[in-house]
Structure 1
Amino acid sequence: MNSQPSTLLAEVRTFRQNHPDVRYVDLIALDIPGHFYGKRYPIEMLEKVAAGSPLKLPQNAVLLGVQGGLFKIGDYCFHDGDPDANRRLVPGTLKPVNWESQPLGQMLITSDGTDAPIEFEPREVLAKVLERLHHKGIHPVVAFELEFYLFDKKLDNGLPQFARDPLSDDTDDQPNLHIERLSRFSDVLDDMAQTAKDQGIDITVITAELGPGQFEINFGHLDDGLRAADWAALFCRSTRGVALKHGYRASFMAKPYLQFPGSGMHVHVSLYDGAGNNLLAAHQQQPLRHAVAGCLELLPHCMPIFSPNHNAFRRLGGTVNAATRASWGFEDRDACVRIPESDPRNLRIEHRLASADANPYLVLAAILAGLEHGLDAKREPIAPLNDDRTSGADFPLDMLDAVRAMQHQAVVRDKLGAEFVDVYCENKRQDHLAFQQEINAREYRWFL
């Protein structure tokens, strides 16, 4: 028995000892739109998988659209016989689920690291980017920040309602940044934070954001990019579950209110060599400038990743700190790529463009691809916003234009994988077209 099955088997057996009431475990992975799919396994069968028994799920589960349907994408889905593909358990991710009515466990699964990884699986795309960087002696350190809204649990004719303040029993309908909002919603926020910690996620700062019922939670920095993206994905799942338990809906929807700020996924990335030196800080920070230039060059061609749906494009160019052009700046939250003030050891970029409902594996993969391209090309970036408030490069502001910009861009295809790019772009194109196949009330009001 090799070391990984031995380690996994010990993890499962320890979990069973610590949680004897858990009978089932959800084995889950993130699909292209950022939803979890998987199977619920009896704990006894999980032990067999950990010992080395095959774990197979349909390959095309990764290709599901936002609503769960399958699209014809090349030979996939309808001309390939819907084959199974091997998955493996991700060590260290077997954790209890405490937001369900019955005791339950969950564990991440993935095709990366198997004999035949699925080229378009989001975690595999990121794994390949990280592997390439490691071979170049580049070691990223990553931290995610996620914004989200709390809504009342009940919808009003399908529309969200403001979260109800548990102290005053009034709706939290006033946008503000007051620290008191953290106290008023402390029961649900504390439960979210503790549940995330129970999942192994390092929760740090909690902030009341500007939108009514809007909050942000930050995670600790990690030198394992896959684990950092795992944290972001698992946090979204647990936060939704905890909110429902408390009588709320938690949503990472990019732009739930037109008049209030959208929710973003901010990603902090620094790069180190094998000796622990910050590569971005070397030579009077010249590599930092090259990395920024690469990020900005690829940004317009990665918009389907950063804004993965129709609603996400609504967030761009709206209220507070929402960019409409690819830009950068020092300590400037209007920039897509912000350089926070820090000492040379911790010098980093903060990529602020992605929406909160984007796929964290793909967002990080796209950011790292941009940084890598910039370090290789060694070009100077455009002027920072600190020097020129009009500085910036245009990027697509609707999905179909964004897909066209991404699909045939040579560097993106090389860095993220041509097969992934083709599959992803067609998935987004089909999702967008499917979204258009409904006539809403406004259309009748305008044109009937």
Structure 2
Amino acid sequence: MKSHSSTLLAEVRSFRQNHPDVRYVDLIALDIPGHFYGKRYPVEMLEKVAAGGPLKLPQNAVLLGVQGGLFKIGDYCFNDGDPDANRRLVPGTLKPVSWESQPLGQMLITSDGTQAPIEFEPREVLAKVLERLHHKGIHPVVAFELEFYLFDKQLDNGLPQFARDPLSNDADDQPNLHIERLSRFSEVLDDMAQTAKDQGIDITVITAELGPGQFEINFGHLDDGLRAADWAALFCRSTRGVALKHGYRASFMAKPYLQFPGSGMHVHVSLYDGAGNNILAAHQQQPLRHAVAGCLELLPHCMPIFSPNHNAFRRLGGTVNAATRASWGFEDRDACVRIPESDPRNLRIEHRLASADANPYLVLAAILVGLEHGLDAKREPIAPLNDDRNSGTDFPLEMLKAVRAMQHQAVLRDKLGAEFVDVYCENKRQDHLAFQQEINAREYRWFL
């Protein structure tokens, strides 16, 4: 513990030396809906925390709904006295914030690794899954890909407007994959990439996607699943900030336009043993087939994680590469679980179902539990789409059905934690019901 504190203290002192104009640091963590919460600390107080001082925030901050409200979930929030819970600083995440008007820093905090971790904190859920896999001699290597849209900074009666093409000042309203769009939006995209790199995130490929103002960013592969999910979470925060600085809105909303493709979170996962051998490639790739079978078996029960809100379900079965059934295939982007072409050393799955606004910690945890379940059960998967274009199993396409399918699934309750599953499902149920408690203009137009 002393060595750990010394490392953190050295990190804080180095940061202060390199950024003497920074007076405050945002200490942030991801809640269940995938939003950051936290506190803004004077940088001198951060030294005390790094040296071993207490860092406490309300436990129930993790339970906030999409709009920030608290729901009654068991005894949490209203019958538990709203207790504080210990957090710790995540080493290596103290970085400058360049998109605010004043000099600022930020650093991730978490309850995992504390004396009493919060069972339903997303990062803690993933940490437990990774720890169990490591005890089994399974070491995941992970890479995220995130799609997002750029919009004009100003909304039109609450509705998004197409981003303005900096070259012509016209709306970028034509869906295309042209490389020229990267050049036209290079100023904001380059700033996004550089800002992410300043946060310690390994940005690799940038792609102009099919939707107007839609782009995709790929991250490097990591043998640290927690850090890979950290990267995805931090990228969303910095990208929104950089976009505003350049006169745009950046959004990871799953389906902002019904007529254009939605935005997904694609996750590449390979599994290695302690000697560095690719587990999925062994025995003529039989473990790969078992792992795929496990993913597909649990996928219908993980839909509240992969599609975490009403809008995310709109993305499924959309115009491009968004399935409505649990399926797999080799080099097939219509599949939920795609097997990219690769050599045995790099054999992996690409899980393509999650929406871009899903919680990256929970998405990765659910995928890994599916792989683990498949390796344990050793079942054969259904036929790949390459052999049968109609292959696939149904999954819920509406939140309340999805919550019912998740809440009582025995493997998920065991592998993700029963307390987490109950809390998460009730959070999603309450959020969905709250979303329905508004009559919009269309409803009056149809039925008044």
Please give the range of the TM-score, normalised by the shorter of the 2 chains: over 0.9
In 2, the alpha carbon distance for the partners of 1:114 and 1:218 equals: 32
Q: TM-score, normalised by structure 2?
A: 1.00
Q: Which runs of 5+ in 2 are unaligned?
A: none
Render the CA deviation track for 1:42-96: whole Å, top value 9, x for unaligned.
0000000000000000000000000000000000000000000000000000000
Cα offset for 1:397?
Answer: 0.1
Once the 2 structures are TM-superposed, how far is the Cα of residue 22 of structure 1 from its aligned partner? 0.2
1:321-372 CA distance string (max 9 Å, x none): 0100000000000000000000000000000000000000000000000000
Deviations 1:111-143 (A, max 9, x none): 000000000000000000000000000000000
SS, match of residue 329 in structure 1: strand
2:328 corresponds to: 328
Give the secondary structure class of the aligned counterpart of 2:356.
coil
Report the alpha carbon displacement of residue 318 of structure 1 after superposing the two structures with TM.
Answer: 1.1
**Alpha-carbon distance between aligned partners in 2 of 1:325 and 1:173, rounded to the nearest angstrom:** 30
1:32 Cα deviation from its structure 2 partner? 0.1
In 2, Cα distance between the equivalents of 1:141 and 1:356?
20
CA distance in 2, matches of 1:436, 1:93: 38
CA distance in 1, matches of 2:318, 2:224: 34
How far off is 1:219 after superposition? 0.1
1:25-424 equivalences under 5 Å are: 25-424=25-424
CA distance in 1, matches of 2:388, 2:261: 24
Separation of aligned partners in 2, 1:76 and 1:438: 26
> Distance between the aligned counterparts of 2:97 and 2:200, measured in 1?
12
Q: Describe the SS at the equivalent of 2:215.
A: strand
| CA distance in structure 1 between the aligned counterparts of 2:414 and 2:306, rounded to whole angstroms | 18
Alpha-carbon displacement from aligned partner over 1:406-446 (angstroms, at most 9, x marks no partner): 00000011110000000000000000000000000110111
The structural deviation recorded for 1:173 is 0.1
Distance in 2, Cα, partners of 1:318 & 1:341: 25
Which consecutive residues of structure 1, in runs of 5 or more, have no partner in the other structure? none
SS in 1 for 2:207: strand
- Distance (Å, rounded) in 1 between the aligned partners of 2:70 and 2:386: 46
Q: CA deviation at 1:193?
A: 0.0
Moved over 6 A (4+): none
The count of residues paired between Structure 1 and Structure 2 equals 448
Distance 2:307 2:391 in 1: 21
- CA shift at 1:29, angstroms? 0.1
- Secondary structure in 2 matching 1:261: coil
Moved more, 1-10 or 377-386: 1-10
- 1:154-209 deviations in whole A, cap 9, x for unaligned? 00000000000001010000000000000000000000000000000000000000
- For 2:375 and 2:310, locate their aligned partners in 1 and report how far apart those are by CA, in whole Å: 32
Paired with 1:402 and 1:4, the residues of 2 have a C-alpha distance of: 42
Distance 1:169 1:356 in 2: 28
Correspondence for 2:8: 8
| SS state at 2:120 partner | coil
Give, in angstroms, the shift of residue 2 of structure 1: 1.1
Quote the Cα distance in structure 1 between the aligned partners of 2:390 and 2:412. 27
Q: Provide the secondary structure at the position in 1 that maps to 2:38.
A: strand
Offset from partner CA, 1:21-52 (integer Å, 9 cap, x none): 00000000000000000000000000000000
CA–CA distance in 2 between the matches of 1:376 and 1:171?
Answer: 52
Deviation at residue 15 of structure 1 after TM alignment: 0.2
Percent same amino acid at aligned positions? Answer: 96
Deviations 1:89-109 (A, max 9, x none): 000000000000000000000
Cα deviation, residue 229, structure 1: 0.1
C-alpha distance in 2 between matches for 1:342 and 1:51: 46
Offset of residue 18 of structure 1: 0.3
Per the alignment, in what secondary structure is the counterpart of residue 216 of structure 1? strand
Q: Distance in 1 between matches of 2:317 and 2:168?
A: 34
SS in 2 for 1:266: strand
